[in-house]
Amino acid sequence: MFRFIGYRALPAPLLSACFLALVGLIAIVNGQQNYWILDFRVADFVPMPAHTGLVFVFVSMALALRSLRFPSRIMKTAAAMLASIFSVAVIAAGVLALLRQLFNIELGDDYVMAGMQASLHAYDIMPLSAAGFVLAGSCLLFIDYRTPGNHYPAEYSAIVLGGIMGVPLIGHFYHVISFATSNGPQEVTPITSISFVILALGILAARPTHRIMSLWNSKSPGGPLLRRLLPNSLLLLVILDFAVKWGVEYGFYQADKTSPLLILLASSLLFIMFCRTASLLNREYEGRQQGEAALAESNALLRAVSDSTPDAIFVKDVTGRIIFANPAKLRLLDKSSEEVLGFRSQDLYIDPLDAERVAREDQLVIASGEAKVFETTTHFPRGVRTLHSTKAPWLNARGEIMGLVGISTDITERKRMEDTLKAHETQLEALVASRTAEVSELIGHLETTREEEKKAIARELHDDLGSALTALNMHLSLLFQQLPEEPKFTDRAAKIRTLLTSITGATRRIQNGLRPDKLDVFGIKVAIAEQALEFEKYSGIHCNASLPDDALAYAPRVDIALFRMVQESLNNIAKHAQASHVDVILDDTDDEIVLTIRDDGIGIAPDRLTDVMTHGLRGMRERATYLGGSVRIVNAKGGGTVISATIPKTPLNLRGEGEEAVTANGDADSATGPVSAET
């Protein structure tokens, strides 16, 4: 089928229309001018009256319009109206010519040819041609009319037209009718007969879906057989006729013997043709048997698979009606095949909501043309089931959607097991969380107990050992005053004072290590500042402490946790960081407390950032977790390590209303003076 801008055209009828238009135009031009081409008169090639040529132009226009396929309804209607007008004009020309030739009735039709020369009216349309035009115009006018018996009269009329116009052609071929007489072309010329035959073929080809042409174009056994045998039969008959005439002409046998000879040869040819037809039918039958056997085997295999599988398999048409359902699908619906086939979802499901949902899923698959997967819970007569369904469009050989094919797997037990497993996982997670909370609470309690013990030991060292050392120092001072001024006594006294001072310093360091006295007296800010100064003294690493200016009212457990984090971080930096500068930053926001320790050392290996077996880092995380916070340890971009501890400001992490907040005034200001100067 040819495709043009906005429409399509069938090639065979369009070519026929072009040929008829060309013949008609040549006839009209020959009627007006006497043209010659290379010493040959054009009228000798197309010996046709101008009137006949004009009608052929009209009939070619009607045939061309009937062969076009327009996309819009308006263009189709316009083309059909124009084709009908041309068809009526052809019928009118033929009827007027018949009335003039047979009954000598003039109805003034010569006005139609007013543009031609007066001499052309001597050559009128012949009666046989006029009858052919009436028949052809009727075929084109009623080309789509169909009888109640599903027959198209236009097809049979076109065959009659070709047969009638083939008679003059055969007559010319056997010299039964002369080509011309002295009075002019008073009969149907060969070009006219050929044009009518081509017109009849074009009319048949304009509707390839009608009954006769559909049989000719069919791919079933009848179509190929008809297309193969009919041309061969005609060709063999023509060859046979030529052979008989050639034998008579050259005297091989007498003319009166041609009839038995033709009967004998025709019978032989018919026998050969029937044998060939039988062979073709046998091959077609054998091929069909093989195809049917293969199809039966394939159907048996598919039936065995569909019947034995536990999955529900079904096929639906575009309207949603089930046209196939395997036994698993029937068991799922608890119905027989007679109760399922031909019914929609609304007729099969007990819950209308389920039926509506299934219909929506089907329409989604058909509309999109793509396979879809659905997991749904549906109510069936035998209980509620969970199905995992895959639905794909069902396409024919032309790619048109005929419906859908679906496979549903019952995953009810699997879903029940999954739900049970999820419930167990939830219980296990809850148990783990509970145990983790208990362990965290225990760790926090142990840390609190240890800190209280350290505090008690530090207090005992301060109260008992410190008092004893002070008294011993006083007694020794009185004793040294009573010793004579001799070098041996003086040296011994100096060594004793040095040893006593060393013991006193060691005691103070142990006391501060167990529980810094400034933490309880002056608060967390002074304790961090003193720790930074002490770290800078014994490590030689510059340490800068940045502390809030406002008074801090944290719970004792928060103060000791922050101090221990700073203490642990500084110890690790002194041992491993190889740093030259450390920043200790304490930020107090509205919702949380943020402690940041940053150094410029070599950093921590990535695999050790989350190493829970590192006791120092694990201790810091446990302290923060016990307080409801967290610790984040990362390597800084420019080098070094950043430790950030975040603790939320909950009521448990702040001082109660009855407790006095530690203020940054008085002695606290004097204690933090050097550090503040550094920051």
Residue 42: predicted pLDDT: 60
Give, in words, the CATH class of 522-678.
alpha beta
Residue 172: predicted pLDDT: 67
Bridge partners for 598 per DSSP: 583, 642
Q: List the one residue out of 187, 143, 146, 141 whose CA is nearest residue 168.
A: 187
Pairing mode, strands 312-317 and 401-410: antiparallel
**Contact (Cβ atoms closer than 8 angstroms) between residue 595 and residue 644:** yes
499-527 mean pLDDT: 78
pLDDT in tens, 435-446: 877 877 777 777
Residue 36: predicted pLDDT: 60
Domains of the chain, residue spans: 2-217, 219-301, 309-410, 437-515, 522-678
**Contact (Cβ atoms closer than 8 angstroms) between residue 401 and residue 369:** yes
**What percent of the chain lies above the pLDDT cut of 70?**
84
CB atoms within 10 A of CB 98: 20
Name 501's Cβ contacts closer than 8 Å, sequence gap at least 6: none
Per-residue tokens: 287: 């091929």
In the DSSP assignment, the letter for residue 256 is: G
Opening angle at CA 641, ends 636 and 644, nearest 5: 95
348-368 mean pLDDT: 92
498-516 mean pLDDT: 77
Cα 461 to Cα 514: distance, rounded to the nearest angstrom: 10
Q: Is 111 exposed, middle or buried (0-12, 13-18, 19+ CB in 10 A)?
A: exposed
H, E, C per residue of 343-400:
CCHHHCCCCHHHHHHHHHHHHHHHHHCCCEEEEEEEEECCEEEEEEEEEEEEECCCCC
Residue 393: predicted pLDDT: 93
CB atoms within 10 A of CB 599: 27
Q: Please compute Rg for the chain using Cα positions.
A: 57
Q: List the one residue out of 130, 3, 137 whose CA is nearest residue 66.
A: 137
Asked if pLDDT for residue 119 goes beyond 50, the answer is no
Residue 582: predicted pLDDT: 93
pLDDT in tens, 100-116: 877 777 665 444 444 43
332-338 mean pLDDT: 90
424-434 mean pLDDT: 89
* Assigned architecture for domain 309-410: 2-Layer Sandwich (3.30)
Cα 598 to Cα 636: distance, rounded to the nearest angstrom: 8
- The secondary structure of 640-653 as a DSSP string is SEEEEEEEE--GGG
Pick the CATH number of 437-515 from 1.10.150, 1.10.287, 1.10.3470, 2.40.10: 1.10.287
Q: Which amino acid is at 411?
A: I
Q: List the one residue out of 19, 27, 20 whose CA is nearest residue 45.
A: 27
C-alpha 93: how far from chain center: 61
φ, ψ (nearest 5 deg) of residue 597: -120, 120
Sign of the CA dihedral running 563, 569, 574, 580: negative
621-647 mean pLDDT: 87
Residue 654: predicted pLDDT: 86
pLDDT in tens, 520-571: 778 888 888 888 988 888 888 999 999 988 888 888 888 888 888 898 889 8
Max avg pLDDT among 30-44, 166-180, 324-338: 324-338
H, E, C per residue of 67-124:
HEECCCHHHHHHHHHHHHHHHHHHHHHHHHHHHHHHHCCCCCHHHHHCCCCHHHHHCC
**Contact (Cβ atoms closer than 8 angstroms) between residue 675 and residue 529:** yes
220-240 mean pLDDT: 74
Q: What CA–CA distances, in Å, run from 582 to 484, 577, 605, 641, 679?
A: 53, 10, 19, 10, 12
Asked if pLDDT for residue 668 goes beyond 50, the answer is no
Query: What is the pTM (predicted TM-score) of this model?
Result: 0.44
Max avg pLDDT among 35-44, 183-192, 431-440, 634-643: 634-643
Range of weakest confidence among 250-264, 491-505, 639-653: 250-264
Work out the widest C-alpha separation in the chain, in whole angstroms: 185
Q: List the one residue out of 403, 350, 668 whose CA is nearest residue 530.
A: 668
**Contact (Cβ atoms closer than 8 angstroms) between residue 313 and residue 306:** yes
Asked if pLDDT for residue 416 goes beyond 70, the answer is yes
